[in-house]
Amino acid sequence: MRRQLFLAGISIVAFGVFFLGFEPFLAVSVPLALSPAGGPPGTIVNATSTGFPPGGRVFLYWFDRRQGNTTYRYLGSGVVGPDGEFQSPVSFTVPNGELGVHNVTASLLGLGPTTAAIPGPETAGVALFNVTSGGSPAGPAGSAGEPSPLTGWGIVFIAAGLALAGLSPLAKEREGKVEPPPGTKFCVFCRAPVPLADYRCPSCNGVQPRE
């Protein structure tokens, strides 16, 4: 039992590592794409829609990412056509900010020039832009904002696998054939101990075969 639990835990951990390590290579539908995906502040970026709800307006926000600051800035918006693509080109200028990866979040709700947070149900997509030069030094507490759903599942699988593997030493091992107490036999139905002379099991009332 211990060995089976340990192997199951390690397998779940490996599955979580797969989610984290191979996430960039998985064919996940991303409704927002940026071109280019990196560059210094001032770069003109074209945003492309690849699957937003047709007929609605999508609002784009830039995650500042500065240490101690989780502000989103409004970048622009576009109307989605019946084919799921923006009816007109949508572009924005990369603002000044820290070096590193920033989120460009597509929202189905206009939240104003700046916002401290974007409601989860209103998030329609997230694309990443990497500020490669000309930005301020990245702070130690900087982050890219909302994690990918695959990242979350990877962490869940790893945590569950480690917990299962950690509990494996506590599992009881069965060694050899389990014998009933002296003067009894196991019920053929519920495996409860039955006196050898009894015709019915006292636990489930099941009729025992004659030996």
pLDDT tens profile 89-132: 899 999 887 888 888 988 888 888 888 878 777 888 888 898 88
Q: What pLDDT, on the 0 to 100 scale, is given for residue 172? A: 56
Decide which of 13 and 35 is more confident.
Answer: 35
- What is the spatial distance between Cα 208 and Cα 199, in angstroms, rounded to a whole number? 6
Q: How much is the mean pLDDT over the chain?
A: 75
Say which residue, 182 or 6, is predicted with more confidence.
Answer: 182
29-146 CATH choice from 3.40.50.720, 3.40.50.300, 3.40.1360.10, 2.60.40.1930? 2.60.40.1930
pLDDT at res. 29: 46
Backbone angles phi and psi of 105, in degrees to 5: -105, 130
Q: Where are the domains of the chain?
A: 1-28+148-176, 29-146, 181-211
The pLDDT, as a whole number, for residue 178 is 76
CB within 8 A of 149, min separation 6: which ones? Answer: none
CA distance 37 to 111: 24
- What lies within 8 Å, CB to CB, of 189 at 6+ separation is 201, 204, 206
Amino acid at 167: L
Query: What percentage of residues in the chain have a pLDDT greater than 70?
Result: 63
Q: What is the pLDDT of residue 52?
A: 82
Q: Structure pTM? A: 0.54
